[in-house]
């Protein structure tokens, strides 16, 4: 008959790597601090990827731990479409990692508040007019549009940014050894918080990316700026990113008024056709 | 000294093996033993016995993670020690509290015929812990492998005490369900 002493002894079945990991957290104050800064840890450079002009992300775990990669550090990421089977990314400005999660709970969200002053900046187009109180989303953008007089307005990629973008990610999508988010913008000071009311770990910061002038294309130098909020729920394996150019105060108001619900579906790595996705500075 | 070099010393039967192990892992093993036994002198004896046991095991064994290898020996020795001294209910360090907590993981409907070998149970727990998300995994391992006090876990991971306790509560519930699903009573 099972008893608690037998159970205590049977904890010997816990795999060595987790014993070592926990021991390091316990006995090495530097690692504990890093863990606190929002945990995990696996920088396995194996699996899936998320990348793009601005940010790339990768692989399988959460709550967020962050570090500035070494200048010489290269991230080698599986990429089936490449001849070599992988691609290498260097010059990342920030690495964010998550706990490994075999399963994620699918979510959708409903904004409780949005900056309605935005439409005035969007050439008369109202990006919110399709919203109703019944609207639930997995991704929502407010895009600067162009060709408004034509049959199909399209997002303007001038500056490669959006005023506001909200989207969802799942740790299990990159379930192959660790989740890694690479940011190619340079972040300012990073604020890490736990929001009890939403039950999420939050990492937020302002970031910039400078581009030198390119006279051959008649392009002056310019700097892109954005604010970013990453909200993660490690137990459920999901991440919501809220980012854009509308300013941190506005993004915070959007984030704190976001209603998130689970759809009841469980997402595993097999549910994703591609094990990479794009996550840049806010381009749709 | 690197772990590999220490292991090599054991394989070479060098006297330095134990002093180097003590230098690097003395505090680590003492902490584990102290959490379980709750007494310095018992912990010290467990640590000394750990070095002896390690000396006898290497060779033939060549552990891949020396800390976990030594920690496991210490842990087993300490649990055996408090069990032998029948101190589980009379101040056996954190073990008393941990055992009380683990009672909650034992599924109801006990059936002695279904009792598993400890080895199988250990494998089941290994699978369960592997599937846990962080930080629940780290908290669980610190509490039930290292027998670390809840306050210390909270301090080291810079969580609130309540967060650690609620994480453990949820994980114990999941473990109970998992053991039940696996037919372990």
Give domain limits for chain A.
Answer: 1-36, 42-278
Contact status, residue B74 vs residue B52, Cβ threshold 8 Å: no
Q: What is the pLDDT of residues A112-158, one digit of tens each?
A: 887 755 444 444 445 455 555 567 888 777 665 555 566 655 555 44
ipTM of the complex: 0.84
Residue ranges in chain B modelled with pLDDT below 70: 85-93, 107-116, 185
Class of domain B104-181: mainly alpha
Query: Is the confidence at residue A48, as pLDDT, over 60?
Result: no
Angstrom distance (rounded) from CA A32 to CA A53: 33
What pTM, to 2 d.p., does this model score?
Answer: 0.46
Angstrom distance (rounded) from CA A163 to CA A143: 7
Q: What is the pLDDT of residues A226-259, one digit of tens each?
A: 899 999 888 888 889 898 888 899 899 999 999 9
A193 touches chain B (CB under 8 A): no
**CA proximity to B47, closest of B61, B30, B64, B60:** B30
Q: Hey, what are B78's tokens? A: 């300490």
B3-84 fold = Rna Polymerase Sigma Factor; Chain: A (1.10.1740)
- Give the relative orientation of helices B136-144 and B118-131 as an angle to the nearest 10 degrees: 150
Query: Is the confidence at residue A176, as pLDDT, over 80?
Result: no
A26 touches chain B (CB under 8 A): yes
Where in the sequence of chain B do the CATH 1.10.1740.10 domains occur?
3-84
Nearest to B67 among A3, A15, A23 (CB): A23
Where in the sequence of chain B do the CATH 1.10.10.10 domains occur?
104-181
Nearest-neighbour CA in chain B from A97: distance (Å): 11
- With 0-12 / 13-18 / 19 or more C-beta atoms within 10 angstroms meaning exposed / middle / buried, residue B180 is middle
The mean pLDDT value of chain A amounts to 69
**Subunit contact B121:A13, Cβ cutoff 8 A:** yes
Interface test with A, best of B95, B138, B157 (most A CBs within 10 A): B138
Residues of B whose CB is below 8 A from A8: 79, 95, 98-99, 102, 144
Nearest-neighbour CA in chain B from A83: distance (Å): 33
């Amino acid at each position: 008959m099972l008893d608690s002493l037998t159970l205590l002894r049977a904890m010997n079945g816990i795999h060595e790597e987790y014993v070592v990991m926990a021991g390091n957290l316990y006995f090495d104050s530097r690692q504990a601090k890093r863990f606190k800064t929002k945990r995990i840890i696996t920088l396995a450079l194996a699996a899936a990827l998320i990348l793009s002009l601005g940010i790339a992300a990768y692989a399988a775990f959460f709550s967020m731990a962050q570090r500035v990669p070494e200048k010489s550090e290269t991230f080698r990421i599986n990429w089936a479409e490449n001849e070599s089977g992988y691609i290498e990314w260097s010059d990342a400005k920030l690495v964010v990692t998550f706990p490994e999660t075999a399963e994620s709970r699918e979510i959708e969200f409903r904004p409780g508040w949005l900056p309605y002053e935005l439409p005035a900046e969007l050439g008369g187009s109202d990006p919110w007019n399709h919203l109703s109180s019944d609207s639930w989303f997995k991704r929502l953008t407010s895009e600067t549009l162009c060709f408004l007089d034509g049959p199909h307005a399209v997002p303007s990629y001038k500056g490669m940014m959006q005023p506001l973008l909200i989207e969802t990610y799942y740790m299990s999508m990159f379930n192959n050894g660790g989740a890694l988010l690479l940011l190619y913008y340079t972040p300012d000071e990073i604020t890490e918080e736990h929001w009890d009311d939403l039950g999420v770990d939050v990492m937020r910061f302002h970031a910039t990316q400078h581009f030198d002038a390119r006279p051959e294309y008649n392009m002056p130098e310019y700097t892109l700026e954005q604010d970013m909020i990453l909200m993660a729920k490690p137990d459920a394996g999901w991440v919501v990113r809220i980012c854009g150019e509308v300013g941190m105060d506005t993004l915070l108001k959007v984030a704190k008024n976001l209603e998130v619900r689970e759809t009841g579906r469980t997402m595993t790595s097999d549910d994703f056709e591609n094990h990479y996705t794009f996550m840049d500075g806010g381009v749709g | 000294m690197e772990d590999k070099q220490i292991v090599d010393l054991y394989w070479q039967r060098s006297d330095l093996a134990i002093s180097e192990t003590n230098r690097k892992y003395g505090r680590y093993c003492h902490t584990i033993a102290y959490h379980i036994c709750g007494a310095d002198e018992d912990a010290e004896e467990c640590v000394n016995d750990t070095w002896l046991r390690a000396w006898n095991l290497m060779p033939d064994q060549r552990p891949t993670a020396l800390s976990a290898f030594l920690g496991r020996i210490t842990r087993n020795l300490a649990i055996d020690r408090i069990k032998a001294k029948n101190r589980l209910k009379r101040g056996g360090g954190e073990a008393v509290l941990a055992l009380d907590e683990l009672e909650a993981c034992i599924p109801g409907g006990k059936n002695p015929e279904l009792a598993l070998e400890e080895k199988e149970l250990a494998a089941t727990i290994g699978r369960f812990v592997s599937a846990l998300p962080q930080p629940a995994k780290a908290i669980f391992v610190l509490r039930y492998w290292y027998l670390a006090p809840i306050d210390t876990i909270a301090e080291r991971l810079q969580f609130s005490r309540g967060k650690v306790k609620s994480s453990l509560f949820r994980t114990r519930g999941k473990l109970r369900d998992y053991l039940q699903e696996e037919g372990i009573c």
